[in-house]
Amino acid sequence: MTEAAPATPEQTYSYLGPAGTFTEAALKQVPEAAGKHWRSVNNVGEALADVTTGRSTAAMIAIENSIEGGVSATQDALATVPGLRIVGEYLVPVNFVLVARPGTTLAEVRLINAHPVAYAQSRGWLERHLPDHGYIPAASNVQAAASLFDGSQADAAVAPPGITDHLDVDVLARDIGDNPNAVTRFVLVSRSRALPEPTGADKTSLIVELPDDEPGSLLAMLEQFSTRGVNLSLLESRPIGDALGRYRFVVDLDGHVSDERVADALLGLRRTSPKVIFLGSYPRADQREIEYHSKFDDEIFIEARDWLRGLVSGEPDVD
């Protein structure tokens, strides 16, 4: 995956397991990961620790979903664990099945085990078809189903469709997610400092803290982007955690740091923010080419620098 590390069989990719999770589905989209060692971990912290300690080459982690928004644990980990870089982005359609121990019927279901996010995303279906159900939260989508064989009192579990590859369960209902377009966005994280080449369809991720007690500092941050024609595809606030009302911002922007307009916006941001964490520039999962006004073309920036250099050096200017 990374250019620095040799593509040896020892390469390891960490992901939120066990087998069957949406995270595993994301990792299956990474060509470089095929045939390498895949390490199932229990949470985002563990996945990132694998990367920072060098145990794994990279880790696949969920960063945003269309129902619940940014994944707080991931955002907070990226903000606090140093030395990480996002090197790729992957989208996984999110859908759910309701599964039970073999022989169970839908009418028999009273208690449902589900990961809280999965439960939130299928609550509409559950309330319509099982209005009297009880709910037990699970630590992951796969664990919810696994618990059916593990002494849990639950009668059924909300699980990813691929669960039937791994567990001997009956599918009581398919497509129980409330939003048929639900999708989760994953990122592949490594320690590599080498930037993926710009493709014209790139994304750059940042975490930005704003100066304290400066009214209008968020406004000023947004202007750093808007004045360079840089569009934001994600802007989320996350509490820094030391006091109510102190926030950092998670930002995804259209473009690559090697694009002049993006680089110039980052310079402005760096100058005005007490802390800017650059998480990486990488190809967008949807491969949609970035559109921007031609007045923010690279040549415009280069010409302006040449002009200024001429002024300062004393060369005749050419208007």
**Residue that is written with structure tokens 């050096």 in the block:** 313
Q: Look up residue 283 and give its amino acid.
A: P
Residue among 170 and 236 whose Cβ is closer to its own copies = 236
CB of 56 to its own copies, least distance (A): 19
**Residue that is written with structure tokens 């606030």 in the block:** 237
DSSP 140-164: SHHHHHHGGGTT---SEEEE-GGGG
Residue among 125 and 247 whose Cβ is closer to its own copies = 247
99 touches 159 (CB < 8 A): yes
CB of 64 to its own copies, least distance (A): 7
Residue among 170 and 264 whose Cβ is closer to its own copies = 264
Burial 103-113 (b: 16+ CB within 10 A, else e): ebeeeebeebb
Three-state SS letters, 201-220: CEEEEEEEECCCCCCCHHHH
Total residue count of the chain as it appears in this document: 319
CB of 169 to its own copies, least distance (A): 21
Q: Which token pair is 167?
A: 């567990």
Residue among 171 and 308 whose Cβ is closer to its own copies = 308
Residue ranges of the alpha helices (H) in the chain? Answer: 22-27, 44-53, 72-80, 116-129, 141-146, 217-226, 260-272, 298-313
CB of 315 to its own copies, least distance (A): 6
Residue among 125 and 307 whose Cβ is closer to its own copies = 307
Residue among 35 and 310 whose Cβ is closer to its own copies = 310
CB of 9 to its own copies, least distance (A): 26
Number of neighbouring beta carbons within 10 Å of residue 95: 18
What is d(CA 196, CA 120) in angstroms, rounded to the nearest whole number? Answer: 36
CB of 238 to its own copies, least distance (A): 6
